[in-house]
Structure 1
Amino acid sequence: MNIVQFQPDHAREILNGEMNIGAPANPKDFLKFVDEMVVNGMSFSGIVNGEVIGSGGIVPVYKHMAEVWLLLSGKVYKNRLTTIRNILINMDKMQKKHQFVRLQAAVKASWPEAVRFASWMGFENEGLMRKFGPDHEDYYRFAKVI
């Protein structure tokens, strides 16, 4: 897997292709925010055989806190272990380099795979945010406080 700086076209490639299991039914709303997610040195994509497997990053909110985002294609399952290892390594490096003491993410409440993954990554469910997303569905606020 080759790790490269995230570009908006990476998200478009993922969203226009096969999404990972349980992905929201209308991921196109995500494209409205793609340009804001390009944070130099804090957003990345994993490429295998010329195809974008996934993208993710950290967007600073305050000096001490950042929002984590992740977008995975259905192709991630063929490269599951490598992808997860790279996510953990890169998230940890960025957290330490920028001295974030809080990382947080919004996870769709009706997406059990994503809820389990956030918990597995060491994030704690802080509660339900009703009608939070662009789809007016409920999301959980997950956070990892260091």
Structure 2
Amino acid sequence: MRTTCKKGRLSRAHPTPIDVDLCWTVPHGDGAVSWVRRDVKSTLEACGVSQETVDSATLIVSELTTNAVTHALPPVMLRVVTIRQALRIEVVDAGAVNKAPRHTRRSADEHGRGHVIVAKLACRTGQRADAGRVSHWAEVPAA
């Protein structure tokens, strides 16, 4: 479920700034990550965000929400908001900070690269824990 929140501002080469502040509740279940990834992508494109920023943001959304849905307790909330000259993607869940992933010999090739991908695409990343909630965020520069 997507809800519109208050607005922020994303400047770009185009003379009109882009305001984005959106929230999603991400269910735990099959198809949740692909659903939210598609919705974020189409929403950002409809807002006029550059394709480069949309592509980076969509991949970051996929990585952060996959980690939350796979390794954390519900509820999972996704927020995409403009901050300064960047688009911030933030996923909040009820999991533990730096929870060790559950690897098996067979799954080692499929897991463990998400944080590396996010760090390569983002200009800033971080996490914080507060009152039983954990937030993982990344900022993508406006292109």
Interval containing the TM-score (normalised by the shorter chain): 0.3 to 0.5
Structure index of larger Rg? 2
Write 1 or 2 for the structure with the bigger share of helix.
1
TM-score, length-scaled by structure 2 = 0.36
TM-score, length-scaled by structure 1 = 0.35
